[in-house]
Amino acid sequence: MKSWVYIALLFVVIALAVSPILLFPEAEFEGADGMAEDLIGEINPSYERWIEPFWEPPSGEIESMLFAMQAAAGSAFIGFYLGRITYRKKP
């Protein structure tokens, strides 16, 4: 592929990542973990955590960004591995 295609794809990815924040600045981007914690609190108000996190991100958006970066890194690794074993030269 031409290098301009990669640049265009990079801009599309950046636009997809930034557009929800720009389009919905007042929205709360809450993950499933927070929703599950609220539901557990409703079901059993006396529930106590087994362990506390050693660091919590300062905001939900940063937590979402870190999760997305983790997912992207994992996807890149799996894609690289599958591409590598698929196109390995046969002896």
| Pair 29, 64: CB distance under 8 Å | yes
The structural domain count of the chain equals: 1
Q: One digit per residue, pLDDT tens: the chain, 91 residues?
A: 678 888 999 999 999 999 988 998 888 777 777 788 889 989 998 988 888 888 888 887 888 899 899 999 999 999 999 888 887 766 5
72 within domain boundaries: yes
91 within domain boundaries: no
Residue type, 30: E
Q: What is the pTM of this model?
A: 0.44
69 within domain boundaries: yes
Q: Which domain holds residue 8?
A: 3-86
Give the span between the Cα atoms of 39 and 37, in whole angstroms: 5
